Structure formats: structure tokens, C-alpha cells
Structure 1
Amino acid sequence: MSESFGRGSTVRAAASRPTVVGIAVTDLSAAFGALVWVAAVLVAGLGPVERALTLAPLVLVPLGVGMAATPPFGGTAGYAVRAAVWLQPVGAVLFTASLARPVGEVTATALAAPWLLVTGLLGLAAVARTRARGGLALPEAAVDAGLAYVSVGAVALLLYQLDLTFWFGRTIVLLTAVHFHYAGFVLPVLVGLSGRVLSPLSGAFSSLAGVILVGPAIIAVGISFSPLVEVVAVGGFTVAVALFGGYVLARVAPARPRVQGLLLGASAVALPASMALALGYGVATFSGTDLGLDIATMVALHGSLNAFGFALLGLVGWRLAVPAGVT
């Protein structure tokens, strides 16, 4: 099996390290995580938010990290990612178990804590790569943003389990954990993977990627301190994400192998639909208008489209033929 590591080149099958019997640990972990997720849904009776949230560490994060680190990172970033890859399955299972315990219980907090170590290592890798590059050059800056943002989701989960919600409700803190695993991790990684097959990067793609990279942080600030900032940030982010979905549908998916293109296209269609719901919810919250988009509706529709339509289809699609980055 040959590998080519320039932009736009493709690495097929399990070429990533570390491996077990020739299969990437990240792939094995994602498959194992899928089984754990199904068992947790059937046995533990997880709610809609918890189902979407646990899918991320169990399945989406290992898939995303394995493709982000193709070819394997070198130096400090490489050591950090390898440690995270080996620790991730344990951290993800404990993460899931924590959500089956009562909030505020010491056991729940202890079970959630290891995920912070896993994501902290990914954040360290992102910082090391950024310093080594000497800047925020796309598309690798998008990949690194995803590796960095996911640790914010881990912190949010830990605060939720500690019952430290500050001036927010518990649901908002839990949704913040969801936000930074999906909009914070999956979306930037998918932007980075798309950028790896586009050469050269157009100004339009670079602009969309820039908005997507800063969007999750600005939205979080708006939710915390200013409804106006939240609405403006959600509006700009929603437009950028919808346009990115259209860009993938028009420029990326048609140029990929058939099955991969179909999966990426389906993911791209789910993305703007999901973000339109987010925009509607933000507008309704700010204006006090009843659009029928309460928090329960958002969880059911926006969450499902994000988790299973956009994130899962997109990551599985890219895994069929992984574009290599620049280490």
C-alpha cells in the first residue's frame, strides 16, 4: 500500500499509526465505540442530548483524529496525538459512563475527567503544529482548530458533572459540550480535509474557512454575555456553514470516488438544514418570537441532523479515501 503526502494526495485504508495487527487504532476504536454507543442507547436510556454527545468521543473523535493525523504528525504533536489515540477509547467509555450517573456525584466527575486529558493532548498537538508552521495557514489551521476546540467541550462536560453551571441552566452547559464536539471539532476537521483536496485554495473557500474557525468561540461568548453578539455570530456562522455545504456539494463531492462523493454530498445537504434551525432558534431567543423552536425541538432536529447527517456521514465518507495533509 503506497502513501503520498502532498496536498490533494490520497491515503487509502489503514495507513495511520499507531496500529494493531495492521489496523489503525483510531479505526478499531471507532468501531468499538459504535458498539458501546448502541449498547448505551439501548441499556442506559440516554436522552437525545446525551446520545448526540456520546457519539462524538466514542466514534467521531477517533475517526477525525485518525484522518487529521494523516500522515502521522512529527515532533511534539506526534507524541501528543499518539498518547491521545491510545488513551481515547478508555476516556470515551468513561465519558459515556459519566452521563449515566447523577449530576454532582463524585463518581460522575471522576468518570468525566479523563476525557479532559485526552482532549488536552489533542490541543497540545494543535499548538505544537501551529508553532512549527509559524502561522495559521489553511487547510491545516482548520484541522488544528478542531483538535484545539474539542478540549473546550471536555471542560464543559466536567463543569456539568460538577454542577458548576454559573448563571446558565444545566442544559445549556451540556449543549456547550455538544457544540464544541461538533461545531468545534468535527466541522473544522471536515473543512481541513476538504481543503486538502482543493489546490490551490480559492479566496471564497479561505474566507468561509476563516469564519468557521472563529465562529464557535464567538457564539460561545455571545451565549455567555450578549444575546446581540450571539444572534450576529450565529447568523454569520450559519451563512458560512451553509455556503461551505454548498461548496462541498458543488466542488468537492463530484470530484471524489462515487460512494465517497455520495456520502460527502449527503453530509453537505444536512449541514445548511441543521444550521438554519440554529439560526431560527437564535432569532427566536433574541426577539422573543415564538417560531416553534424551543430547546426540545432544537435538540431533536438540529442535534440529529448534526450528529447523524452531517458529522457521521461526512467523517465516514472521508475515511473511504483520506486526503493527506502537510506535517
Structure 2
Amino acid sequence: MSPARTRHGSRDIAPSDASALLGGVLWLALVIAGNLDAIDQALALAPLVLVPLGIGMAATPPFPGFAGRLHGLAVTIQPVGATLFVASLVAPVNGLAAALLASPWVLVTGLLGVLALVRVRNRGATSVPESLVDAGLAYSVVGAVALVLFHLAMTFWFDPTIVRLTAVHFHYAGFALPLVTGLVGRSLETESSLYDTVAVVVLVGPGLIAVGISFSPVVEVLAVGAFTLAVTLLAGFVTVQVAPTRQRPQGALLALSSLALPVSMALAFGYAVSVYAGGDGLGLRIPAMVRIHGSMNAFGFALLGLVGWRLAVPAREA
């Protein structure tokens, strides 16, 4: 890792930041109007606010060449894709019509996935922080496709709620967590074996958890357990070594964000173990888990973390 450089906000608002601000206003209006249930609140927050914030910080400074053009196109069409994504959740339509509304978001995230591949091809996989940023960009397309499948009732052997929650999972554990972890790595001035170890788990964890949920309860429990341990170590690392080096407002947001994640994941791990052992999931049903675990991930971790890093963005390494 090279010595970190930090980009503070300029007087001119970036298009991605403007999209996040307007998206936040739309999201708040929909919540106040009662148009979004607990799952949809988390789902809508991601394309409207979190993804534009994240992709703006990923390209700090701007990507060169073809990668820069891909990024610019994704930023340009992101507000349209996000708005139609949310329309698919709240409009009085379902089935094919809802899937068509959600489909432009597949295009947006597909561009981000291609961007990630181009960056890896140009750079190689030598930078841990940048590999995490690229993983976050690529994982987002899985969440977009999952929502389209949900609208089409193509749930295969799963309960429809699981497919819907998969869309949430890959926008948070898939997009937000790797990207935030990558920004943590960008901010480090020296190598850290602890960071590198945690980064590997964050990199592969979302996929392993999805595989476990799909095919093997044992794999699910092991993957969630490893993921919980990794994010707990990450939280301690950020709180002790990263947050104190940042200016006070940013440091406070980063510390609060990092501490919310292991609490929510510990709850998820306990729930998974309890269900696997034949228990009642700690006495919590899926709706309660969505409210507690989901809200802590969406608002406690992802929103606070991405807003916190936006106050002073570590520059990319390559």
C-alpha cells in the first residue's frame, strides 16, 4: 500500500453526489408516505443513495481511459436506473411490468461489473484495497438480477422472500462492505497483515454465504461465522487504528459505522446456528431479523460508513 492521499470535497458538487442527495430526498419522501416496507426501505436506499456515493468515491481520482468512460456512463444513467428500480417496488404493477422497470438497474450494475473487470485487467490483482473496490462494483449486479427474478416469480426452489433478501444482501454485504473495506485500505500508510486477512474474507464472504443459503446449511453457518469474525476484527481495526487518524466528524462516523456491523452479524450468526440446530432462531422471525439486522446494516453500517468516508475520500492507488 502506498502512502494514502485524501481528497476533500470541492465547491462543485459531483454528479454522483448530486444523485445521492436527490435520491435521499426521494427515499425519505417514500418512507414518510408509507410506500416502502422494511425490506424495500433497505432495497431502495442502495440504488438511490449508497451506490452513487460509492461509485463516486471509487473513482477518486477519476479512472483513466476506457475505465473512465465506463464509469462516466454508469454515473450518467444511474439516476434513471435507480428511479425505475424504486418504481418497480412501489408502482401498482407486478410480474413482467415490474421486472421491466427494474431491468435498467441491471444495465447500470452490469456496467459497474465490466468496469471492475477492466480495472483488474489493467492493474492486475496486486492491490488488496482496489480488488475490494472492484469486487463491490461487480457484486452489485447480482443484487440487481435477483430483484428482476423476484418480480418474474423465478424463485426456483426458494421462498420468494429469500430471493428478495438476496437483492438486499448483494447491495450491502456485496457492494457496500467491500467498497468500505477498500476505502479503509486506501487510507493506510503501511502494510497490515490483519487488514489483508480480513479483506480476503470480505472479498469471498458474500458469495460463500449465498452458496450456503442455496445449497448447504453447514456452509452457511461456517461462512456466516467466518464473516462475523472478520467484520468484528475490521471494526476493531477501524475504531482503534483508522478513526483516530481522521478529523473528528469523520472519525466518529467511521467508528459508529464499524461497530454497528459486527453487532448485526453476531445476531445473524446466532440466528443461523439456532435454526440449523432446530431452534426457533433466537425467538426471532424473518420480519424481526429484517428490522433489526437489516436496519443496522443499512443505516448503522452502510449509510454512516459511506457518508463518513465521503467527508474525506482516500485516493485510489491505481
1:121 match: 111
Amino acid at match of 2:142: V
Structure 1 ranges of 4+ moved more than 6 A: none
SS at match of 1:23: coil
Q: Is the 8 A contact 1:103 1:162 kept in 2?
A: no
- 1:242 corresponds, among 232, 250, 261, to 232
1:192-231 to 2 correspondences below 5 Å: 192-231=182-221
Per-residue displacement from partner, 1:53-77 (whole Å, max 9, x unpaired)?
Answer: 1000000000011001101111222
1:261-272 to 2 correspondences below 5 Å: 261-272=251-262
1:106-145 to 2 correspondences below 5 Å: 106-145=96-135
2:300 match: 309
Superposed displacement of residue 40, structure 1: 1.6
Between Structure 1 and Structure 2, how many residues are aligned? 316
Cα distance between partner residues in 2 of 1:126 and 1:136: 14
Cα distance between partner residues in 2 of 1:102 and 1:218: 35
- 1:190 corresponds, among 156, 174, 180, to 180
TM-score (norm 2): 0.96
Amino acid at match of 1:88: Q
Percent of residue pairs bearing the same amino acid type = 59
- 2:18 corresponds, among 25, 28, 38, to 28
1:19 match: none
Residue 299 (str. 1) matches residue 290 (str. 2): yes
Per-residue displacement from partner, 1:194-235 (whole Å, max 9, x unpaired)?
Answer: 001112221111000001100000000111111111111111
Residue 55 (str. 1) matches residue 45 (str. 2): yes
2:95 match: 105
Superposed displacement of residue 103, structure 1: 7.1
Cα distance between partner residues in 2 of 1:133 and 1:185: 20
Per-residue displacement from partner, 1:111-160 (whole Å, max 9, x unpaired)?
Answer: 00000000000001100001111225211001001000001000101101
Superposed displacement of residue 246, structure 1: 1.1
1:158 match: 148
2:9 match: 13
Per-residue displacement from partner, 1:216-259 (whole Å, max 9, x unpaired)?
Answer: 00000111111111111111011101111111011110110010
Superposed displacement of residue 104, structure 1: 4.4
> Aligned pair in 2 of structure 1 residues 92, 7: CA closer, same or farther (>3 Å)?
farther
SS at match of 1:11: strand
SS at match of 2:42: helix
TM-score (norm 1): 0.94
Q: Is the 8 A contact 2:3 2:190 kept in 1?
A: no
Q: Is the 8 A contact 1:153 1:181 kept in 2?
A: yes
Query: Where do 5+ consecutive residues of structure 2 fail to align?
Result: none
Amino acid at match of 2:316: G
Query: Where do 5+ consecutive residues of structure 1 fail to align?
Result: 1-5, 16-21
Superposed displacement of residue 7, structure 1: 4.4
Cα distance between partner residues in 2 of 1:41 and 1:99: 12
Q: Is the 8 A contact 2:74 2:111 kept in 1?
A: yes
Cα distance between partner residues in 2 of 1:160 and 1:103: 13
Amino acid at match of 2:292: L
